[in-house]
Amino acid sequence: MSGSVYKRYFGQHMRQGLENAGRRGYSPVLMKVAFLISRQGRAVSPSTWWLRAALSAARWAAGRGWTLVAGSGLITHDFVRWAFRAEGGSVIDVGLAGVGGRENKTAALRARDREVADLADALVAVAVRSGGIMESEGLRAISAGKVVHVLPPPRRSSAYGGNSTLLAAGARPLVIPDGQVLPSPPPSQIEGNPVLGFPESGASGTGHPCPHTRQERRRAARPVRPIPANFLWHFTRSCPGPWPGQTQDEYFSALARSDPGAAHTGLDTLIRIDLERTLRASAKIIRGRHPVVSFTAANPREILAGRKFRQTLARWDFEPYAIGIRAEAARRMGVRPVSYLPSGEYRALPEEDRPFYQRADKDSLDWRHEREWRHAGDFNLVNIPRRDLYALIPASEAPDVAGSFTAATVCLIDTVPLRTYSSRP
């Protein structure tokens, strides 16, 4: 970032930073801080350690009237920026344009990381991988005599190995008592060592709306049923990031508050569908970009037995959650089987038939085992009677969540090791 650009940002945020410091009782000296967080997975929950740690660290730093220096575009960057502003702190934004607009995005991102670290007066290392860029920036700052605060990691892991490396190099521990595994000196024995507490929150898991407690859900649970025949199934999956129609700020707020369903898992998605009574159409990976809702006429056990991890999509093709609609009722509402055809026949199809096309060339993957059906556009569940609407969940989860469904009858799939669906094979 050039000197003139930096001065412009500095001028915009200095007044607010000084006001915040004075209001909170701290010396009105502007301090700039940057957070070191290595790249994390897209899926997060209210109990994700780096997220809770970043939230507490942001509260601590913003509460001292410090100004955050940060980039944007990754969930780690964006969440810390949100948390800082939520605590009344100021943020200096360092964009990719500020590093010369390099054509090589990787080089541009690396240069921005360096620029952010250089602009900051102090660094806070939250979740730093061993041997990564964030670790190297922290070591460079320590060598230059810059103050680096480090959260002792919750466990010994390469995902947090950089935290341990920085502590060994002389960084200052920023202790969070909850979940701490690696030993650290008591706060009273560390000069100037702040102790952070996690913000009060609800359950550590994802939680689910109505009813809220395990006992309430069990009391409210209706009798479950076996998997019915002659049904079409719409499988749900996790939804990293905001729900459709949800802003990023709303998403981060829900995570910070540990709102029910904030983790956006496949089960959260299923419960949301039951509450909203709507299946939302998507045009992703559909030729012609036609928004559709997809179903399968195959038995759910067959679908889950053949599940695969799709490297190109970075996710499993199916998770053990689905909404089922009796085939006869679905057909009356416009759901149709797809046409498995060679790609050369697509343009010959009438426009109204194109949303129901699925490629079936000899040199491509064969999807016919899915026996797919589709509905063009969103699919409204409001007028479907309960006897024609089922929610499929793993048997192992039935005692805790069966009572969360208000519209659909619950049926069970044989117990599935759920960790298979939350990580790569």
For residue 67, what is the domain's CATH number? 3.40.50.450
Rounded-to-integer distance, Cα 29 and Cα 17, Å: 9
Identify whether residues 183 and 218 lie together within a single domain. Answer: no
Identify whether residues 372 and 223 lie together within a single domain. Answer: yes
Model's pTM, two decimal places?
0.77
Rounded-to-integer distance, Cα 159 and Cα 344, Å: 47
Identify whether residues 142 and 236 lie together within a single domain. Answer: no
> 305 is in which domain, residue-wise?
214-422
Q: What is the pLDDT along the chain (425 residues), one digit of tens a residue?
A: 443 333 333 334 334 444 443 443 434 458 999 999 999 888 899 999 999 999 999 999 998 899 999 999 899 999 999 999 999 999 999 987 544 444 577 888 889 999 999 999 999 999 999 999 999 999 999 999 999 999 988 878 888 999 999 999 999 999 765 433 323 333 333 333 444 433 333 333 344 444 444 454 444 445 567 889 999 999 998 999 999 889 999 999 999 999 999 999 999 999 999 999 999 999 988 999 999 999 999 999 998 888 887 776 667 788 999 999 999 999 999 999 999 999 999 999 999 999 999 999 887 778 898 999 999 999 999 999 999 999 999 888 877 787 888 888 888 887 444 334 343 44
Identify whether residues 13 and 156 lie together within a single domain. Answer: yes
Domain membership of residue 265 (yes or no) is yes
Contact 323, 274 (CB under 8 A): yes
Identify whether residues 271 and 351 lie together within a single domain. Answer: yes
Instruction: Tell me how many domains the chain contains.
Output: 2
Domain end marker among 128, 154, 189? 189
Taking alpha carbons only, the member of 116, 26, 27 closest to residue 68 is 116
Domain membership of residue 198 (yes or no) is no
What is the DSSP pairing of strand 231-235 with strand 372-376?
unpaired
Query: Residue 105: which residues within 8 A CB-CB, separation 6 or more?
Result: 96
